[in-house]
Every structure is written in structure tokens, then in C-alpha cells.
Amino acid sequence: MNLPICRFEDRLLSTSLSALAIGLLCGGADSLRAQDPERNLSLIEPKAGDPAGGALRLARERADQAIAHVYVEIDGVDVFKIERPSSGVLIGDQGFVVTFLDLVAESIEASDKRILVHLKRAGLDPLPARIRSIDESRGLVLLEVEGLADEQKANGLTLAESSLGQDVLVYSFGEEQAPTGFVGVTMDALGASRFRSGGGSQSIDRGELVFTDAAIQERNHGGALLDVDGRLVGLCNATQVVNFEAIREPTLEQLKQPSFGFAVSAMGIARAFDDCDKPSPAVDGPSLGNAIEATVSVFTGRAPKPSLDDPYARSRRNGVGSGVVLTESGLVLTNAHLVRGESEITVRIGGRDYEARVVDSSRAGNLALLQVEVPASDKLPAVVVRADSPRVGERVYALGRPNADEQLAVSSGVVSALRADGRVIQTDARLGNENGGGPLVDAYGRLIGLCDAGRVDRIDAAYARRGDGAKVENSLNQTPSFALVESALGDALTDGGFLKSTARAESSDRALDAVIDQIAPSLLNIYIEAVVRGEVDEDNPFAQPETRTVVTSLGSGVVIDPSGLALTNWHVVDAATFPDGAPRSDHVVRARNFEGEIFEVTVLSISREEDLSLIQLELAPGRTLRAVEFGVSGDLEVGDRAVAAGNPEGQANSITVGVVTAKDQEIKVRGRWADLTHLLETDAAINGGNSGGALLDARGRLIGINSAGGAAFNVTGYAISVDHVRERLHNLLLGAYKMRTPWLGLQVQDRSEGGVFVQAVNPEGPAGRAGVERGWVLRSVGGEPVGWSVDFSLLRRSLEGGEPVELEFEVEGATVSKTLTSLPHDIWLVQRELGLEIAPLTIRDDADRIREAAVALYRNIVGDPEAEPRQIPGRVLEVKRVFAGDKVEAGDLLLGVRLTGRVRSGGAAQIVRFGAAREIHDFVNEHAAYEGSTFEVFLYREGEVLVVPIGMRRLLY
């Protein structure tokens, strides 16, 4: 589900209204603790504790002890298990586990195979199990677990019936040895379905099925469908879920192939096995009033019937859709594409068919208004139309009746934005052929908009744009609001006797307003702009071509400190930086906050392997920004609410809500520099542009940095967990190496009472040579106070490499001053790459020695003892200290390197000369390996040129 706070046409929609949806979805939250006005102390000591998981967290906690990984173990040369997603659920109090027959079929009458049940969340080792009962008609099997203690048997789940639109959690424990979970709502089973079992397939009646808009993936096969009380309302079957990720270049036909999961209902389980108790009554779903009865089927030609291969009715069927009754006299609103050009239109209401005709239509919004031929004695069930506009963040339901037998399709989400002056509603509720033309209603069943299936099927449209790159993700949808309906069809509505209701939204709890108010100023939209130069005026040689910037890519970010420090992904700023993070002159990075204010951005550091970047917003003197509070991702559990903030697909200032679906994930993303690790998986929508944005818990605390959206037909996205982000921030991104600042040779650590102490000293670095010791408290650098570790990192940016700087320490109550000469960044890089500290030696320093070295090198290369070079370099590099190897001595001149195996035209080996530290660094980046390489290097020592092997190691960025 998506919950955006959104800007449109440079106007900020009310953040306070968005708090309602988070409160409804997450079950309330405490206000954030106040942030230090000068620094974000949660970077050092994040607030641990309950992350406010929401209503379904209780369901997960109650079910944790009952969700099992069920698998078959095989004897052979070695004992091994059949690896596949395979879950089961402990039910009742007798130690029985229900799962699907296809997961254990190999063990039947096989002496070398055994069934094991692993209740890991209960802290148990895998236990053997035997088949107690099989029900082939539903594909179910009941296992009896051996060696289960009575107290563990008591953890079995109660069976319960389901109700329309109730909140549910898909929860499973498969081969990954970690749970996964998705949330959604239930709907009517639109028809019978089929499932695969025993190498074939068979059907199951819809009366024993539960359908849901919650994701049921392959890894959820055999998992639980839970209600808010943690009772089992169904067992998830994923045999009809297509693994689109395995299709490298899908065809349009493959993309349109139905892919669906469902749950065998608790009643179906009880009917299958005599050992199961009858299900208890269902938890009530939302009260949607007349909206349920007012949602109707609209079709042309023959009445539509459900398909075993498409039970959710998601495939496009011409002339088949839904509508909503606006008046008792028979005005019905639907999608125009369903009835355009048709003369015979049927509307089925309450099991009865009525003829209808089009009285007006509008291409804008894909709208059509029908007049149903209603007998004077009949009164149709009309929906209540809401008078005021919905609020951003408000929960909504998309309804539809895509089949003639009247079952109701339901999808739930939130209003993520209002576009076009409120005439378009942006929502994450699933909108497709199953509810196209049906009503979009609020939590009280009042009409706020019309579900739009699109004039062209969405898969067809996506494939036309992207070919085999087409994908369907948990994305934002746009649909006409009733304000657009009135604007487009107003005269026809009036002529038909429609009178708008005066119903308005009831007051709601806004306890989370403070959370939204605090997080919104911390959220950023990031824009990467290329500098484009105009044409040169050939008639005016003095004219300067005009330049402009063009946005080439976008992303998101989050402010982590009042000074304007922010985080984003490396791949967001990659086009604007060199491989070491240095800025490119032909690109500009800018950030926009939720108020629309634009900031110039400096990229401070990058980590390609972590897909992280630390950036600095350029602020006016004295200006500070509100920073996000850091949370603790280790405290999260699957099913806890997650809020993704960012700029998805250019929809600035969007906040989407979902749950943590899995933890500790690792994925490979095409185009990224390395595998991503330490990931939180979430079903909060993360699309292109969300990258680098914040993933927050329900209290508004940072729990991750969004990094990757779901793959094709996958509803999940991924965020780098905040615990890993925090560690990488302090130990990598804020370091001198990544920030490209002078090196002082010491590391500091924050003290709980404030300030920093010296945590480590490199004995060969400037601090070590100056006598600085571990444990000293650092008070200032160059006269500027150091209040915490971030201060120290930022102060290094102002240092001039190679120049002395005074550091002031507190040692046992006394003040101690030390003057250090920092190493310039390029010099320090060479030290790490070659194990040598070097310094430039110029003609002004020692002209004779430089000339002697240049002549000797030239004669060595050309093999002529009398040859003279045409030019003498203005500077060379002198070795000051040696930290690795025994071939180089202090005082040697480092002149260049010979690339063996690389021959110029004419037969001479390629020689790369060095006159600056940066030239060595560039050479290493181009030619050396990360694990190290050896090259032949030219040294000048005491009047002689030596060729010695030196190891060089490329550095990671």
C-alpha cells in the first residue's frame, strides 16, 4: 500500500492529513523525540524499541510459533534435503501440521525419504513427521509431528472463517530459513480455480477458496493466511504463480499469462480432515454501506463467466467490466472503453439483468454514463457520493464485479496524491480489469472516484513502450475523482436526476500528525542535470556559447543532520561523479525539499560496493534543516509497517506504506557495481526515482535507504538496512579516503557525555609522528571546535593538504596542542596503493637533480649513453617514507613505470611517466587489480636509474 505526501504544480498537499492513514494502518505511534538543534545524535545512539508494527503485528506474534518449514530429506551418499519453498502450519492442539501434498509426495512409500518439520521460530530443531491424512481433492495433507512437547502443541493456530475486505497477513517460513510476509485484504472468490499436484492439475470449488490482494509468491506455498487475531483463515497455494524472473526476454503472450495465488479456506481444511475443529466466526471487514450493492457488472454480448485459469478476472475481456449505480432511477457510471460503439449493453444488479444505453461519455477519465431501463416499481441500490475531496493518506477500497455471478473483487490501498486540482486521485490500490469501471470508495463506502482499467490493457501498453522490458510492479495508479466526473458529465448527471450527497468525512484520529510534520522536511527529491552548451557563433569569435542544464535522471534522498548532510544511493549520483566520487564539471546535482525549495548539492563521498552516497546541501550561513531520526532495523520483524519516501517515476514527494516482507536479503541488480547485501525487503512501492530515499518505521524513524525496486511482476522492493547504513556512514563515507580530504592519521569516536576521543592513531601518520595518543579528547581542529565525530569529518574538508594545522586536546584535565602536517589526499592514496609516502620535487627545489634524473631515464629507455632528452620535467616525485617492500628507499625519485606486454608501434615498450601523485593514482585505477599487481618501476638513486618490481593495489570506491 502506498501513502504519499505529494507536491503537484508546486503546491504542497497537507502533511497533517496523511497522518491519518498511517495511524489507521499502523495502529498509532509516539511522537519523535526532539532532535538536537545542532546535530542529529541518533546517528550515534539510535532509539531502540518497539517499531510500532501495526495491527497485524499481533497476528504475526501469535503465529510465529506455528509457522513451519516442511521438507523432504533423502538418504544417499550424503543426506540432503529437497530445496524448494515449502511451508506448513501447526493447527489445533494435537501436534498436527497442515500443508500441501505436492510438498511431501516424494516420501510416500519411500524408505529412503522422510518428512521433517522445522518450527524454527519456536526455537526447535527439525522434527520428523508422518502423514496422518491426505485429501487429494484439495491437495492437502495433515502431518503428525513426532516428539513435539505438549506446550509446543498448544501453539497450534485456530481455524477461522474470512469476511469481505478484512485485513490479512500472508506469512510463511520457507527454505531461506527466515520468514516472509505480505499484507492485504480478502475478497470474494470470483470463481473456481485450479492447482497443480502430482504432475497434473485439478480444480477446486470457489466455496472453499479465499482470494486476497496480498502477494502470494512461490516462496509462500504452504504458508498461512492470518486474520488480525492470528487465526488461520486459509493455507496459501502458489502452484499457479508464474516465475517471470526466470524468463529472460518475455513475449507479450508470456506477460499476459495469468499468475495467481489463492488460499484454501479454513472451512475447506476442516472439511478435509476430521481431526480439525470447525472454524470460528470471522473478524468483521470494513462497513462499506451501499457501495457493495451498488457495484454492478457491465457487459456487452453474453454474460461473462469466470475462468479456472484466471479466477481473479485480471485478463482483459472486451466488453466486460464493472460499474456503480449513482441514482435509484438507474444512472450507472462505468469506463467508456467497455461500452464505446456498443448498442446492446447489459447491467446486472442483484442477480437481475437490465438493458442500458449510453447517455454521455468523455475521453477524459475514460468515463461513460449509462441509463438503465428500470421498471417504475424498482429502486436500485445507489452509492452515496462523498461531497468533499478525499484526504492524502486516506484508506480506500477499489470494488468490482467482473463476472456475472455477482462475486465482489476488492483491493485496498490509500490515496497517495491528488493531481490536477483534485480531479485525479493517485492511489496504490490495485486497479485493473477485475475492477475497471467499479467504484473507488472511502472506508465508509462513499464514492470518491472511478476505477480505471485504461482504454488499452496495461500489459499491452507496457509492452508497446518497453518490449520485453515491460514489467508490472507495486506501482502508483491514477484514476478520475468524482470531481472530474462532474466536470465531464455534469449536464447528463443533472438531467438524470443526480443530486450530490452532503456526506462529509467524519473526524479522525490525527495522533501521527507530529510524526509526519517531523519527517516531511527531511525528505528530498534529487535531480541530476547535464550541462548542455549551445552552438558557437562563428561570426563572433568573442561570444561565449550559452549553457543550460537538462534533467537526465532523478532519485531521492534524506537529510541526516541539520548541517545539510544527506544520504542517497551511489547509482543516483553516478552520472555526476567520477569513479572516486569527485564531481564532474558537466553535471549538476540539485535537491528539492517538500516545500519546493531548491538546494545546490555537493557529493562528499560514494561507495559503489554499498550503493551509498553522502551529499551536502549548500545552506546559507546559520541555516539548518530538520534531520530524520535513525532507528534500529535489527528490532524490526516481518509484517512491521514500513514507509518509503521518495520521487517515484518523477512523482515528487511521495510516501508509500507497506510492510517489512523479509530481512537480511541479498540480491544482484543489473547495472550495479556489486551485489547488494544487508537488505530489508518491503512491499511499500519502490519504483524508479525512489532510489536513495528513506524507508521509515511507523514512528517516522529511518530504518533503511531505498535502493532497488521489484523485478518483473514482483511486488517487493529493497532498502539497505539502517544498522548497516550507520556503520558504513561512520567507518567509510565520513572517512578521509571516501571524502577525498587530507589525512591526519587518527580516528575519533563519540563519547556518551559529548565530544570525541582519539580511538586509533596510525604510528606512521601525521598524528602518530606528532605524538598524539589514543584516548586523548579532541577539542578543536585549526581553532574550530569539535563537538562530535561528524564535525571532525567536515572540518577536514577545510584543511589544505601538506600545510600545518593545530589540534587541541584535553589530556587528564590539561590542554595539549599538537601541530600536524596533513597528507594531501592524492599523496595518501599513493601511500595506500604502493606503500610509499611521496612528495613533489620541483625545479625550484633541486633543478640539478631533476635534470640528472631525466637524462638518466631517457638514456636508459633509448639505450644510448650519449642521448639527451628534448624536455626536462618541471617536477618529479620523491619517496619520503617506505611502508611496504624492500626495493625502494627514502630519497629515491619515482620516475615512471614500464608496461611489459604493451608495445608501441616501432617496437618500444610503453613507458608511463609520473610527475604528480594523481598520475600514479590514475595509472593504478586503470591497470592494477584490487587484489594487487606488480609493475616494473623506474627509480633514480645516487646518479643511477634502477628498474625494480613494485606491488600496486587498486582501491575500492
pLDDT tens profile 749-785: 999 888 999 999 999 899 999 999 999 999 999 999 9
DSSP state of 92: T
Radius of gyration of the chain (CA): 34
pLDDT score, position 243: 78
User: How would DSSP label each residue in 831-873?
Assistant: HHHHSEEEEEEEHHHHHHHHHHHHHHHHHHHHT-TT---S---
Residue 693 to residue 695: CA distance in whole angstroms: 7
pLDDT, averaged across the chain: 86
pLDDT of residue 563: 92
Alpha-carbon distances, residue 743 vs 390, 463, 588, 822, 824 (angstroms): 56, 52, 27, 5, 7
Q: Is 955 in contact with 910 (CB distance < 8 Å)? A: no
Taken in order 531, 535, 541, 544, the sign of the CA dihedral is: negative
* Secondary structure (3-state) at 584: coil
At residue 18, the pLDDT reads 33
Q: Kindly tell me if the per-residue pLDDT of 468 is higher than 60.
A: no
Per-residue pLDDT, 76: 78
Q: What is the DSSP letter of 575?
A: G
Cell numbers linked to 36: 538536537
pLDDT for 907 beyond 60:
no
Residue 782: CB atoms within 10 Å: 15
pLDDT at 905: 46
Q: What is the pLDDT of residue 471?
A: 55
- Give the pLDDT score at 899: 86
Query: Quick one: average pLDDT of 813-835?
Result: 94
pLDDT of amino acid 404: 78
Query: What pLDDT, on a 0 to 100 scale, did the predictor assign at position 4?
Result: 29
Would you say 809 and 778 are in contact if contact means Cβ atoms under 8 Å apart?
yes
The predicted structure's pLDDT at residue 254: 80
Model confidence pLDDT, tens digit, residues 917-957: 999 999 999 999 999 999 999 999 999 999 999 999 998 87
344: pLDDT confidence band, cut at 50, 70 and 90?
very high
Q: Give the model confidence (pLDDT) of 648-673 as tens digits.
A: 655 666 677 788 988 988 887 766 66
Does the pLDDT value for residue 529 go beyond 50?
yes
- Convert the pLDDT of each residue in 877-886 to its tens digit: 999 999 988 8
* Residue appearing with cell numbers 604493451: 902
**pLDDT 10s digits, 159-177:** 999 999 999 999 999 766 6
Q: What pLDDT does residue 538 have?
A: 66
Please report which residue ranges of 92-188 form alpha helices under DSSP H: 150-153
Question: d(Cα 758, Cα 753) in Å, to the nearest integer?
Answer: 15
Cβ-based burial of 308 (10 A; exposed 0-12, middle 13-18, buried ≥19): middle
Asked if 462 and 472 touch (Cβ cutoff 8 Å), the reply is yes
Does pLDDT of 353 surpass 60?
yes
Q: Are 742 and 822 in contact (CB under 8 A)?
A: yes
Helix, coil or strand: residue 470: coil
The helix (H) or strand (E) run that includes residue 940 is strand 933-941
Q: What is the pLDDT of residue 5?
A: 28
d(CA 27, CA 391) in angstroms, rounded, equals 18
Q: Is the pLDDT of residue 22 over 50?
A: no
Question: What is the CB-side half-sphere exposure of residue 14 using CA atoms within 13 A?
Answer: 15
Question: In the predicted model, is pLDDT for residue 26 greater than 50?
Answer: no
Predicted pLDDT of residue 123: 87
Three-state SS letters, 48-68: CCCCCCCHHHHHHHHHHHHEE
Q: Indicate if the pLDDT at residue 381 is higher than 60.
A: yes
pLDDT at site 461: 76
Q: Residue 519 above 90 pLDDT?
A: no
CA 864 – CA 910 distance, rounded (Å): 18
Is residue 823 pLDDT above 80, yes or no? Answer: yes
pLDDT of res. 818: 96
Q: Look at residue 11 in the predicted model and tell me its pLDDT.
A: 28
- Percentage of the chain surpassing pLDDT 70? 87
DSSP secondary structure letters along 431-494 = -STTTTTSEEEETTS-EEEE----SS-HHHHHHHHHGGG----S--EEEEBHHHHHHHHHHHHH
Which of 149, 155, 169 minimizes the C-alpha distance to 68? 155
What's the angle, vertex CA 61, arms to CA 59 and CA 66, rounded to 5?
90
Mean pLDDT of 123-145: 95
Q: Are strands 179-187 and 547-559 parallel, antiparallel or unpaired?
A: unpaired
What band does 419 get if pLDDT is binned at 50, 70 and 90? Answer: confident
Q: What is the mean pLDDT of residues 101-126?
A: 93
Query: pLDDT-derived band of residue 459, with 50, 70 and 90 as boundaries?
Result: confident
Give the H or E element holding residue 370: strand 367-372
694-696 vs 701-708, strand pairing mode: antiparallel
Dihedral (CA of 296, 300, 305, 306) sign:
negative
Average pLDDT over every residue of 274-293: 93
pLDDT at 844 over 50: yes
Residue 543's Cβ-count burial label (10 Å; 0-12, 13-18, 19+) is: exposed
Q: How far apart are CA 375 and CA 367, in angstroms?
A: 25
Whole-Å CA distances, 488 to 372, 481, 482, 927? 20, 11, 10, 65
* Whole-angstrom distance, CA of residue 497 vs CA of residue 326: 10
Whether 677 has a pLDDT exceeding 80, the answer reads yes
Instruction: Label residue 839 by pLDDT band (50, 70, 90).
Output: very high
Band of the pLDDT at 104, cuts 50, 70, 90? Answer: very high
Q: Would you place residue 535 in the very low, low, confident or very high pLDDT band (cuts 50, 70, 90)?
A: low
What pLDDT is recorded for position 620?
93
Lowest mean pLDDT among 5-9, 61-65, 361-365, 558-562: 5-9
- Name the pLDDT band for 31 (thresholds 50, 70, 90): very low
> What cell does 676 get?
547488494
Which helix (DSSP H) or strand (DSSP E) does residue 489 occupy? helix 482-495
Count of Cβ atoms closer than 10 Å to residue 63 Cβ: 27
Number of H-type helices and E-type strands within the chain: 18, 54
What letter does residue 442 receive in the DSSP assignment?
E
What average pLDDT does the segment 424-442 reach? 92
DSSP designation for 733: I
Chain segment 229-276, per-residue pLDDT in tens: 999 999 999 999 987 766 767 788 887 888 899 999 999 999 999 999
How far, in whole angstroms, is CA 3 from its chain's centroid? 14
Question: Distance between terminal CA atoms of the chain?
Answer: 36
Q: Can you give the pLDDT at residue 699?
A: 84
Distance CA 526, CA 556 (A): 5
Residues 58-73: tens digit of each pLDDT: 888 889 999 999 999 9
So what's the pLDDT on residue 697? 87
How do residues 551-598 score in pLDDT, each as one tens digit?
Answer: 888 889 999 999 999 999 999 999 999 988 999 999 999 999 988 899
d(CA 528, CA 530): 7
State the Cα angle at 664 between 2 and 666, rounded to 5°.
Answer: 90
pLDDT band at 534 (very low <50, low <70, confident <90, very high): low
Cα 273-279-284 angle, rounded to 5 deg = 150
The pLDDT score that the predictor gives to residue 41 is: 85
